[in-house]
A and B are shown apart, each in its own frame.
Chain A
């Protein structure tokens, strides 16, 4: 797939403007690429390297470290079942096996119709609501085995449309209104004490 399209390039430039050092924008830009294509494509990584002023190898290096970035196609819906300790105690592994049977794949696999990818996931931070799962990072709490199957059925049939396709994280983005920014500059250009701090006293501040 592709480099960032025009609309996403504008978003990318807005994201870049919020960081004093361009390379810091790399993870948000990789998310943007994943939102565009459903996974992080090689061309997109090359594009991000240009935008962040680093080599493509550095982008691959960062991208490959993080579990959420997929460098190959995955299903439209990424189903993560938590099997960590709290969920394990209350049926997380049974839930995973039921969904493996339901989808006809092992965890880590993708269905033939490219609708679902199933993952055996680490703690999803909903431990008191065990067992829990996420579909494209949207939570399902205290989910019963039959309910989980119904979620799959509803997503497959199109009866359920509230979950955006894989790659979309927060549907709301931060925007700093024009003229409202305090001024984001590279660290070497911000080497003076902020104006609101009083002049240092002999004791020194921050002691």
Chain B
């Protein structure tokens, strides 16, 4: 396929713009050690090894590398939370990417596994981490193969293992497979899963992974994309990195834009500079809505994020302004829905995901998400009751009490509440199920009411 598509990295669109993490996606053999070395591979590691570990940490802190997993917390600061003098320390790489709409990490693992491995090595060197676990989502068979191959090559060539590049630095990287559970993407659940248990989140405090993580030891949990930025930062320096993006959010990010656009794809985008409008309508990006349709709503940061509408198009792709507007950039997943979309159906589908994926540990989420799905299902199927909308909001309020960020609407006198919302649960999965409900009801309440009052003959879908 032409038009910027790269067939061997299906979904990736090679557009003009700076490339920090996706530079090797265009090479069909970008996952091999030979190609990696030919294109500047392991230069960042050598640069790191020439510095002291604390200098490497400083470089990453100076670069203001924001976590790419969802919360957007600066990696350099997170790294500083390990209590001094407590050993061993571990690195756990979060490759359990399963947020609806997201798949940048899969491409990074499939197309450039050595870049990720190099990033892991740099982090381990900087913080004195003695072992690294690369937790890859179970459903990603190709990513597992590519990482296994890359690790085997890297071990054989002396880049991983004992006395890396003939220095004192030694670390083992172990590939670990998940087995299908969205909740394991939450960092404490990830650690539970890696310990061989059911992947249920732990209460924070006290279980902040940096202090009490894997096997009760200090553990750094970083996202695949976050770590993939490290080789470039160490090779080119924090100052060069900060030349891209905005002051508060330097560098680039991968965004997966899916749904009703002409050219959906995964794009590497400068943070804070590009707006949603550029991304959706720009010639260099998605090239607009599909013919004959207009934008109805879009999800700016994966299934967990409250929806945005036309009036949000000029917000920059940057965590802070998006958060202040009541949503989040999350894991870089943007789902575009045009005017042919049934708001009730879209809301039901996202809520159903959370109902299925709730781990069952906290009652408000376990029971609440199921109730939400049932109520939405009957509204969608044409069996809704007049009291259903209030009941839906009441159930939502029990999971996420108080005004939900997406409910903010100056035109209705509702003040902006920044993301994230309050929660009665251990982790944010339950409150995430509230996002589509509050968003859809805020903007499309008449659609819900019409389905309830008209009891139209809407085809019942199996599911």
Q: A123-B353, A127-B335 are contacts. A65–B199 as well, Cβ < 8 Å?
A: yes
Look across to chain B and name the residue whose beta carbon is closest to the beta carbon of A194.
B128
- Minimum CB–CB distance from A86 to chain B (whole Å) comes to 4
B88 to A106, Cβ gap below 8 A? Answer: no
Does any Cβ of A come within 8 Å of B333's Cβ? yes
Contacts of B127 in A (CB 8 A): 206
Look across to chain A and name the residue whose beta carbon is closest to the beta carbon of B199.
A65
A127 contact from B100, B167, B177, Cβ within 8 A: B100
B162 to A97, Cβ gap below 8 A? Answer: no
Chain B proximity mask over A176-199: 1 for CB below 8 Å, otherwise 0 = 110111111001001111111110
Contacts of A90 in B (CB 8 A): 259-260
Does any Cβ of A come within 8 Å of B52's Cβ? yes
Which of B142-150, B228-236, B390-398 makes up part of the contact surface?
B142-150
Does any Cβ of B come within 8 Å of A134's Cβ? yes
Contacts of B353 in A (CB 8 A): 84-85, 122-123
Which of B34-42, B79-87, B380-388 makes up part of the contact surface?
B79-87
- Minimum CB–CB distance from B267 to chain A (whole Å) comes to 10
Does any Cβ of A come within 8 Å of B18's Cβ? no
Chain B proximity mask over A152-189: 1 for CB below 8 Å, otherwise 0 = 00000000000000000111111111011111100100
B264 to A128, Cβ gap below 8 A? Answer: yes
Q: A123-B99, A190-B88 are contacts. A177–B11 as well, Cβ < 8 Å?
A: no
B155 to A177, Cβ gap below 8 A? Answer: yes
Look across to chain B and name the residue whose beta carbon is closest to the beta carbon of A59.
B196
A129 to B346, Cβ gap below 8 A? Answer: no
Contacts of B333 in A (CB 8 A): 127
Chain B proximity mask over A21-60: 1 for CB below 8 Å, otherwise 0 = 1011111101100000000000000000000101000100
Whole-angstrom CA separation of A61 from B217 in the bound complex: 24
Question: For chain B residues 336-394, which have a beta carbon within 8 Å of chain A?
Answer: 337, 341, 345-346, 349-350, 353, 356-357, 359
A169 to B171, Cβ gap below 8 A? Answer: no
Q: Chain A interface mostly helix, strand, loop or mixed? A: loop
Interface-central residue, A54, A200, A207, by most chain B CB under 10 Å = A207
B198 to A184, Cβ gap below 8 A? Answer: no
Does any Cβ of B come within 8 Å of A130's Cβ? yes
Whole-angstrom CA separation of A93 from B196 in the bound complex: 34
A89 to B87, Cβ gap below 8 A? Answer: no
Does any Cβ of B come within 8 Å of A2's Cβ? no
A-B residue pair count with CB separations less than 8 angstroms:
259
Chain B proximity mask over A118-154: 1 for CB below 8 Å, otherwise 0 = 0010111111111000101111010000000000000
Count of A residues near B, CB < 8 Å?
Answer: 82
Look across to chain A and name the residue whose beta carbon is closest to the beta carbon of B52.
A198
Contacts of B130 in A (CB 8 A): 182, 190, 194
Contacts of A194 in B (CB 8 A): 87, 128, 130, 170
A83 to B103, Cβ gap below 8 A? Answer: no
Which of B67-75, B131-139, B316-324, B443-451 makes up part of the contact surface?
B131-139
Whole-angstrom CA separation of A184 from B345 in the bound complex: 50
A198 to B463, Cβ gap below 8 A? Answer: no
Q: A24-B195, A176-B161 are contacts. A88–B139 as well, Cβ < 8 Å?
A: no
B170 contact from A83, A124, A182, Cβ within 8 A: A182
Chain B proximity mask over A10-30: 1 for CB below 8 Å, otherwise 0 = 000000001111011111101
Whole-angstrom CA separation of A125 from B333 in the bound complex: 10
- Minimum CB–CB distance from B261 to chain A (whole Å) comes to 9
- Minimum CB–CB distance from B125 to chain A (whole Å) comes to 7
Q: A68-B139, A173-B148, A190-B88 are contacts. A122–B98 as well, Cβ < 8 Å?
A: yes
Does any Cβ of A come within 8 Å of B53's Cβ? yes
Which of B179-187, B274-282, B407-415 makes up part of the contact surface?
B179-187
Whole-angstrom CA separation of A129 from B356 in the bound complex: 23
Q: A28-B177, A66-B180, A190-B88 are contacts. A196–B162 as well, Cβ < 8 Å?
A: no
Contacts of A172 in B (CB 8 A): 144-145, 148-149, 152
A174 to B101, Cβ gap below 8 A? Answer: no
A182 contact from B54, B87, B144, B162, Cβ within 8 A: B162
Contacts of A24 in B (CB 8 A): 176, 194-196
A205 contact from B53, B168, B461, Cβ within 8 A: B53
Q: A66-B181, A176-B172 are contacts. A124–B462 as well, Cβ < 8 Å?
A: no
A125 to B137, Cβ gap below 8 A? Answer: yes
- Minimum CB–CB distance from A141 to chain B (whole Å) comes to 5
Does any Cβ of B come within 8 Å of A107's Cβ? yes
Does any Cβ of B come within 8 Å of A67's Cβ? yes
Question: Told that A100-B462, A126-B103, A170-B148 touch, could you supply 6 new A-B pairs with CB distance under 8 A?
Answer: A31-B177, A85-B346, A86-B101, A88-B346, A125-B106, A182-B130
* 17 examples of A-B residue contacts, CB within 8 angstroms: A62-B197, A67-B181, A80-B139, A85-B335, A89-B337, A107-B462, A122-B98, A122-B100, A123-B102, A128-B11, A172-B144, A176-B172, A181-B161, A182-B172, A197-B53, A205-B53, A205-B84
Q: Which 6 A-B pairs have the closest CB atoms?
A: A170-B144, A66-B179, A67-B180, A26-B196, A182-B170, A23-B196
